[in-house]
């Protein structure tokens, strides 16, 4: 299952943005409003949203072209990637890409909430100061 967020322009350089995305505590600023729990870990974070199970993510790779988060749970196989494309010295085009391997039943249940989550992340990153 692949999902895409809309492409946005962030008023930060890709270097600046990649530095922000390296730090687990910064992801709290990008979470949806229904956030009920947020814990940072050495290489990632765990969060809980209203009406959804808690999700643990590890920061797998961050550079000036992309930030890759992967599931910290062995039972779920997915990744969330933010592509970072410099537009100018202090503007970067960002797009969220979700890639997951789910059975058809799970896919049917999670597809809409995941797309909403990606859309919210996109909006929060776009508004980030």
- Give the start-to-end residue ranges of the domains of the chain: 2-127
Are the beta carbons of 12 and 126 closer than 8 angstroms? no
CA distance 126 to 129: 9
Q: Could you read off the pLDDT of 60-69 as tens digits, one per residue? A: 999 999 999 9
What pLDDT sits at residue 73?
86
CATH of domain 2-127: 3.30.530.20
Q: C-alpha 128: how far from its chain's center?
A: 14
CA distance 120 to 129: 16
Confidence of residue 18 (pLDDT cuts 50, 70, 90): very high
Are the beta carbons of 125 and 14 closer than 8 angstroms? no
What pLDDT sits at residue 34?
87
* Percent over 70 (pLDDT), the chain: 100
Residues 6+ apart with CB under 8 A from 25: 40, 45
Q: C-alpha 19: how far from its chain's center?
A: 15
């Amino acid at each position: 299952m692949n999902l895409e967020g809309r492409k946005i322009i962030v008023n930060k350089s890709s270097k600046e943005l990649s530095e922000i995305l390296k730090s687990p505590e910064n992801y709290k600023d990008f979470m949806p409003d229904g956030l009920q729990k947020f814990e940072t870990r050495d290489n990632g974070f765990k969060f809980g949203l209203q009406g959804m199970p808690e999700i643990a993510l590890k920061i797998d790779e961050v550079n000036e072209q992309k930030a890759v988060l992967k599931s910290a749970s062995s039972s779920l196989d997915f990744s969330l990637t933010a592509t970072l494309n410099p537009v100018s010295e202090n503007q970067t085009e960002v797009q969220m890409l979700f890639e997951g391997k789910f059975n058809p039943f799970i896919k049917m249940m999670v597809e809409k909430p995941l797309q909403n989550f990606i859309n919210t992340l996109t909006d929060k990153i776009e508004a980030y100061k």
